[in-house]
Amino acid sequence: MRARDPLPCVTAALTPPATRLTFRREMMNTEKCIAGGADMAALHRALIGYAGYTDIARDELEPMQAKGLFHAHVRIRGSATILRIPRVGSFGLPPAANLDYQSASFARAAESGHVPLLHATISPRQGIPWGALVISEIEGGAPSLPGGLPAIARALAALHSVPVPPSPERPPLPSNDDPVRATLDVIEAQARFLDDAGLAPDTRRQIDYELAGARRFAADVTGQDMPIALVGTDTHPGNFMMQPDGTAMFVDIEKMLYGAPAIDLAHATVYTSTMWDADVAAALNDDEVAAFYAVYFDALPRTLGDRIRPWCGPLRRFTWLRTTTWCAKWRVESQNGQAWSAAQHDPVYIASVRKRVDDYFDPETIARIRTGFDIGTSV
């Protein structure tokens, strides 16, 4: 993961007559918040039980700045590794199964050469309810856009070229033999939150129109040939880091599965993805998106590329709809104490997420994105 400055999660100042006990309680709550709900002392006790970490001191664990909703990260100073601490389970998995899944994801993706290496896993236990992964710390910084797009395209081509095992050997990673239907199922589940998401009438009208189109498309393409590959799913540019040699590394491996490569490509380039992370935010023009796809296909075996190419345009709309309906779910659930709520995160970070979601639901933003899907040469 990228080098990040420590950032406290609780920013409220202590005011007289705050007691020493109150101060200690505030600090404990802050540490648990920035460590994904885990206890820093428990993390240290678990870590020193592993070879290579027995001499790590408690103060060598350094919480890192929040960059995502689903994990916290703690640097292990002097080790070139970090602790990756889940806040919730991917795909609704319970803690132990989630840890097994994430461990397998790192192992499967390692062959691509574009992900951090997994060094150890810490099982769920008292003080570490979701367990933790010890992974390589990636030195580098956020990609610039559009300059970093070619490297991201090559990283995705490498990931999608990892051999796919026979179906019985794919678990614990999910395998979507019909990725369009599987993605539509995700969209439909998230769309149930639209009624309570406080959307403007024109916003809802446009989303409903796209939902109807997605349903028709899914019905029309049932049974058509679609290549299945190892995919990252959450491949927005903020989930990549640029190493000093210009290599892009995919660092947030929390939704790895076997599915449609075209969805990864869309999620790297649609507006709702490129504007998500404030460190990389940029609205791409059509030529920049087209150049990204060109680099990707140049890096792929031609036979695989020829099978992926026809799906790229239609699945850009699907990917945008998946993100947009997720934002409705987040807007509703973030108010009620979920693991991605302000109560569980740095409130400043949550405020920035809320601002982006507001933009994504602006009817003018949606109209502009949809027009791009209709006329863009990149599709």
Q: How far apart are the first and last CA of the chain?
A: 32
| Distance, CA of 269 to CA of 313 (rounded, Å) | 12
Determine the pLDDT at residue 290. 95
Query: What residue has token string 């939902």?
Result: 211
Could you count the other beta carbons within 10 Å of the beta carbon of residue 251? Answer: 23
CB 84 within 8 A of CB 133: yes
Which residues have CB under 8 Å from 197's CB, separation 6+?
327, 328, 331, 332, 361
User: Domain locations in the chain?
Assistant: 20-136, 149-375
Determine the pLDDT at residue 341. 52
Determine the pLDDT at residue 10. 33
In the CATH scheme, what architecture does the domain 20-136 have?
Answer: 2-Layer Sandwich (3.30)
In the CATH scheme, what architecture does the domain 149-375 have?
Answer: Alpha-Beta Complex (3.90)
The pTM assigned to this predicted structure is 0.87
Q: Which neighbouring-strand residues pair with 175?
A: 258
CB 247 within 8 A of CB 143: no
Tell me: cis bond preceding 168? Omega within 30 of 0 counts: no
Consecutive 10-residue runs of the chain (379 residues): their mean pLDDT? Answer: 39 38 43 66 96 95 81 94 93 95 97 97 95 96 97 99 97 95 97 98 98 97 93 96 97 94 98 95 95 98 96 96 97 74 67 94 97 70
Q: Which neighbouring-strand residues pair with 75?
A: 62, 82
CB 118 within 8 A of CB 110: yes
- Lookup: tokens for 20: 């020493």
| Distance, CA of 252 to CA of 1 (rounded, Å) | 8
